[in-house]
């Protein structure tokens, strides 16, 4: 039994080697097939990528053309809008200038009316002040004339015209009291029609 077992081992080993060789062939064949398929797939992918690149390039050209068209249209629209905005701004500025001019004219007119009213009021006040000043001047003149007449009436000439006499000393000064007259030896009595020299009998030493 043992001899027959050892006789079967080399056969089993040979079978294993044969199986390994077959497996290696199968693997080699499979790798070759996979390599061929990989190459084909690479070619297909390359063709797909090339076609996609051409399509992307076409799309890029179309996009660029469309974008350029839209940009030109937008620039045109913006230019038109800018022109409209500039025209609107110019119109608004003109309207504002006209409004300012109207306001300025109205303000000048109101100022002129107020100045005219103020001038009239000043003229009325001036006339009133002038009238009052003339009245005050007239009253003052009348008072001065009245005072002057009163002063003149109190003067010696008025006294002489009323029939009274004025006693004077040797220098011509008026003597208003007996005590003052007693101090002078000689006196002068002035009448309306002239003066008369008299001797003071009450002068100290007179008649002694």
CA distances (Å), 62 to each of 69, 74, 76, 93, in order?
10, 18, 21, 45
Predicted local distance difference test score (pLDDT) of residue 190: 85
Quote the distance between the C-alpha of residue 173 and its chain's center.
Answer: 81
Distances (CA, A) of 117 to 7, 113, 193: 152, 6, 68
Q: Report the candidate in 115, 194, 128 with the shortest Cα–Cα distance to residue 160.
A: 194
Confidence (pLDDT) at 106: 92
- How many residues are there in the chain? 208
Q: What is the pLDDT of residues 34-80, one digit of tens each?
A: 888 888 888 888 888 888 888 888 888 888 888 888 888 888 888 88
The neighbour count for residue 167, using CB atoms within 10 Å, is 19
Question: What are the φ/ψ torsions at residue 162 (nearest 5 degrees)?
Answer: -80, 0
Q: What is the pLDDT of residue 151?
A: 67
Q: What pLDDT, in 10s, does the model give residues 134-191? A: 899 888 888 887 777 666 655 666 777 777 888 888 888 888 888 888 888 888 888 8
Task: Map out the domains of the chain as residue ranges.
Answer: 63-154, 156-208
The whole-number average pLDDT for the span 97-124 is 88
pLDDT higher than 70, residue 208: no
129/159: higher pLDDT:
129
Q: Is the pLDDT of residue 6 over 60?
A: no
Confidence of residue 206 (pLDDT cuts 50, 70, 90): low
pLDDT tens-digit readout, 18-34: 898 989 888 898 889 88
């Amino acid at each position: 039994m043992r001899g027959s077992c050892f006789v079967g081992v080399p056969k089993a080993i040979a079978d294993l080697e044969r199986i390994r060789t077959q497996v290696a062939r199968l693997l080699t064949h499979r790798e070759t097939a996979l390599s061929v398929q990989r190459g084909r797939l690479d070619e297909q992918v390359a063709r797909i990528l090339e076609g996609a690149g051409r399509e992307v390039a076409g799309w890029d050209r179309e996009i660029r053309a469309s974008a350029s068209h839209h940009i030109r249209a937008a620039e045109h629209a913006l230019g038109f809008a800018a022109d409209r905005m500039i025209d609107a701004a110019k119109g608004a500025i003109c309207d504002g200038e006209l409004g300012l001019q109207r306001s300025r004219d109205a303000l000048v007119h109101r100022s002129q009316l107020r100045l005219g009213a103020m001038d009239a009021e000043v003229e009325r006040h001036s006339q009133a002040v002038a009238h009052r000043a003339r009245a005050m001047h007239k009253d003052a003149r009348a008072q001065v004339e009245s005072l002057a007449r009163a002063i003149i009436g109190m003067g010696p000439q008025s006294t002489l015209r009323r029939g009274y006499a004025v006693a004077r000393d040797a220098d011509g000064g008026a003597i208003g009291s007996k005590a003052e007259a007693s101090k002078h030896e000689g006196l002068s009595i002035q009448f309306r029609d002239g003066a008369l020299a008299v001797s003071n009998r009450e002068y100290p030493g007179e008649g002694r």
